[in-house]
Amino acid sequence: MAEIVGGGRPVNDAERRVIAYLRDHAPADWLLLHNIEVPRGHDVFEVDLLVLTGHSLVVVDVKGTRGRIEVSGTRWFPPRREAFGSPVAKLRGTAKALKGLLVSRATQLERVYVDSLVVLTSPDAELVDPAGRDAVNVTTLDGLLATLSDVSRVRRGCTPDARPYMTAILDALNQTVRRSTAPPRFGNWEVEEQLGGDAKVTEYRAFNATLPGSETVLLRAYQADPLADAEARAAERQRIANAYQSLARIPPHPCVVRSRDFFAIDDESRFVLVLDDVHGQALHLSLGRGARMTVIQDLLRGLAHAHANGVVHRALTPACVLVTDDGHAVLTGFDYAKPGPRNYTVAHELGNVLDAAYVAPECQARPDRMTTASDVYAAGAIAYQLLTGELPTSADAQGPDVPEVVRRMLDHSPAKRPTAAEALDALQGLPAQGSRLRRLIRRIVSGS
């Protein structure tokens, strides 16, 4: 039975389950510290669990996410929920920060390995990681003890025996970390689960603290530098507020994610964007699984509505489209959108986030030239991929399953592309007629 040496209040049942499991099953010489905060400058790293084994200090993040989770780049795509930033990437950064703080307290702790591990507690959770970047730092509850006991995880240059350093580690932790007295709270929103993120933004699922049990929302908490000069802080505030300003221009629509609120906390060291928690699966997971004309039409409805209100999306990919349980699509991902004319831009950041497969030819070298026509091109590439299972090229945007209007959306000349509204009009009523015609042709050809 491992010893719990302190901690705050667990946020959810998944965390309670992992803490109890380790308390009851881990070796007696292991030490547990749960639900703490690691302050570093103006940043605060929230840690679900620290496990001090005989060979390392392990920073553990607990995830109750269910079902098949697909990893693509730096995002995780769970079923029936919006994609979120890889918690592994976030946790590795936390482990690195904690190691730096420990060494600053006691230089001999440079020899101690600080590991990071995400635990999936749901019995049906499955991580699909083709590139293998995240899987090495992810385990299930059943595999947790074996992973924590694996001395081979200790990196070269660090000691495989941390026991002589136990007292120094505990002293350094005592000087460094602090207990979380309550679940994180942003304004009136209480965190139910931390999802993931990176150095710039952390994503949470939360509920209204005044109405426990109410519907959940998504929170995106953006880091900011409150010590920068006034001009730099204003520019950072404008960049962070971009998604909210874009969504604020768009009246509510069933095919566009809704923004609930945007506010600063503390001394403007963080800004929080509150969004609907759409129960849907990222279109990224559905490509190549048959024609989905309803999804294509909903995508165009959302895009046409955004364009009609002066907003250009600029970063449209399948990862920005959620498909709900009833088969309808919701447009998300407005962090890099352009909400009408203004005297500043976030276009210079587009080059770091765009997927070239969905970027219009005229914008490949100049992403700052994104327009409504380039959004239509991206929607055309997504539609083509949904209908054929392949990405379009200049040579293959043909075929009986590709409506003529989709080919026009992919025209290399922006002036020859239809608007999103025109493309939607052209597709109205098309699926049923097209599918009946194809079935009739097949029967005639086969003689049946």
Whether 227 is covered by a domain: the verdict is: yes
Whether 171 is covered by a domain: the verdict is: yes
Could you read off the pLDDT of 179-221 as tens digits, one per residue? 766 677 888 898 888 888 777 888 899 998 888 778 899 999 8
Same domain, 340 and 424: yes
**What is the signed CA dihedral for 6, 10, 15, 16, rounded to 10 degrees?**
80
Which of residues 214 and 433 earns the better pLDDT score?
Answer: 214
Pick from 201, 301, 284: nearest CA to 250: 301
Same domain, 164 and 309: no
Same domain, 286 and 355: yes
Same domain, 224 and 109: no
Same domain, 293 and 416: yes
Whether 211 is covered by a domain: the verdict is: yes
429: left (phi over 0), alpha (psi -120 to 50) or beta: left
> Over the chain, what is the mean pLDDT?
85
Whether 248 is covered by a domain: the verdict is: yes
In Å, how far from its chain's centre is CA 378?
20
Whether 99 is covered by a domain: the verdict is: yes
Whether the full predicted model's pTM is greater than 0.95, yes or no, is no
Whether 198 is covered by a domain: the verdict is: yes
Distances (CA, A) of 18 to 263, 272, 423: 33, 29, 51
Same domain, 156 and 225: no
Same domain, 20 and 154: yes
Same domain, 195 and 300: no
Inter-residue contact 115 to 57 (CB < 8 Å): yes
Same domain, 119 and 195: no
Determine how many CB atoms are found less than 10 A away from the CB of residue 419. Answer: 18
Same domain, 22 and 99: yes
Sorted by sequence, the CB contacts under 8 Å of residue 211 that are 6+ apart come out as: none
Distances (CA, A) of 36 to 237, 275, 282: 29, 27, 32
**For 287, phi and psi rounded to 5 degrees?**
-65, 140
Same domain, 152 and 34: yes
Last residue of a domain, one of 179, 203, 232: 179
Which of residues 243 and 159 earns the better pLDDT score?
Answer: 159
Could you read off the pLDDT of 311-362 as tens digits, one per residue? 999 989 998 899 888 888 999 989 888 887 665 556 566 666 678 889 999 9
Same domain, 223 and 153: no
What is the pLDDT at residue 265?
81
What is the pLDDT at residue 285?
72
Residue with tokens 């001009």: 231
What is the pLDDT at residue 395?
47
How many domains does the chain fold into?
Answer: 3
Confidence of residue 243 (pLDDT cuts 50, 70, 90): confident
CATH number of the domain enclosing 360: 1.10.510.10
Asked whether residue 248 carries a pLDDT value surpassing 50, the answer given is: yes
- Distance of alpha carbon 265 from alpha carbon 245, whole angstroms: 18
What is the pLDDT at residue 84?
86
What is the pLDDT at residue 298?
94
Last residue of a domain, one of 122, 157, 179: 179
Which of residues 154 and 234 earns the better pLDDT score?
Answer: 154
CATH number of the domain enclosing 232: 3.30.200.20
Pick from 218, 188, 222, 186: nearest CA to 205: 218
Last residue of a domain, one of 250, 276, 302: 276
Domain that holds residue 258: 185-276
Percent of the chain with pLDDT over 70: 88
Secondary structure of 30-55 in HEC code, one letter for each residue: CEEEEEEEEEECCEEEEEEEEEECCC
Whether 443 is covered by a domain: the verdict is: no
Whether 144 is covered by a domain: the verdict is: yes
